[in-house]
Amino acid sequence: MSEIAVVTGGGSGVGRAVAHQLAAIGWRVAVVGRTEASLEETIRTSARPEQFLACPCDVSIADEVAAMADRVRSNLGDPTALVNCAGTNIVDRQLEVLSPADWQQLIDTNLTGTFLCVHAFLPAMRRMGRGTIVNVISDAGLRANATAGAAYVASKFGMAGLTQSINAEHRAHGVRACGVFPGEINTPLLDKRPSPPPQEKRMQMLQADDVAACVLLAITLPPRAVVEQLLVMPR
């Protein structure tokens, strides 16, 4: 029987690359994202479209996450891997222009959204005695930088703490968590920068498949091993 994974942010970027790589090795994958058309594009562009389930969902809304989790369980079963790639940023990100509403939006999507998905799937992993949760964070979750902006940095530091808490509380129950901390990645999120980088600069960054390979390492290691933190940077 195929293993089952849930990948948030599955409509583009790293989430799409992770979903494609998992399907290529035989996993059934529920791809989660706000836009159904983007999820269908992920499925259509995969070499194994039959391995997918599209689950439109805004991860910042608790009721939508609960409904998504029910859909996954009804159609695929309980997942043994959860990959949290959903995330956003804003143009007006510097402290002098950052609004309380934009701060809340980033915290709700990047941090609370990750928590809600963990909350939805962790209990079953604990009951099964196995499971891997991978949170795709950012090197801004290890050290603040001015490019990322304060709200994004705060949300990513929170994700790092959540990842550590999963290991602290649940490693004895067969559940492991990995925080992947990439440097600059060439994804659509770059377009939200106040000054988006040119194509030449983007090609020097990490590509989505590079980060997806790190995620697969964390998931496919033997159960006796856990990658707690993985920092990956452009060469």
Q: Residues 58-94: pLDDT tens digits?
A: 999 999 999 999 999 999 999 999 999 999 999 999 9
Q: Is 185 a residue of the active site?
A: no
In terms of Cβ atoms closer than 10 Å to its own Cβ (0-12, 13-18, 19+), residue 115 is middle
Backbone CA torsion sign across 59, 64, 66, 72: negative
CA–CA distance, 149 with 143 (Å, rounded to integer): 12
The per-residue pLDDT for 153 is 98
The single residue of 27, 121, 152, 157 carrying the catalytic annotation is 152
pLDDT score, position 195: 86
CB atoms within 10 A of CB 67: 15
Tell me what pLDDT residue 113 has: 98
Please tell me the CATH superfamily of domain 4-232, with its number: NAD(P)-binding Rossmann-like Domain (3.40.50.720)
How far is 75 from 56, CA to CA, in rounded Å? 14
The pLDDT value recorded for residue 189 is 85
Residues, the chain: 235
The pLDDT score that the predictor gives to residue 106 is: 97
Report the Cα 148 to chain-centroid distance in Å.
Answer: 17
The pLDDT of residue 121: 98
pLDDT of residue 116: 98
| pLDDT at residue 66 in the model | 98
Give the count of beta carbons closer than 10 Å to the beta carbon of residue 64.
18
Instruction: Report, as ranges of residue numbers, the positions in the chain whose pLDDT lies below 50.
Output: none
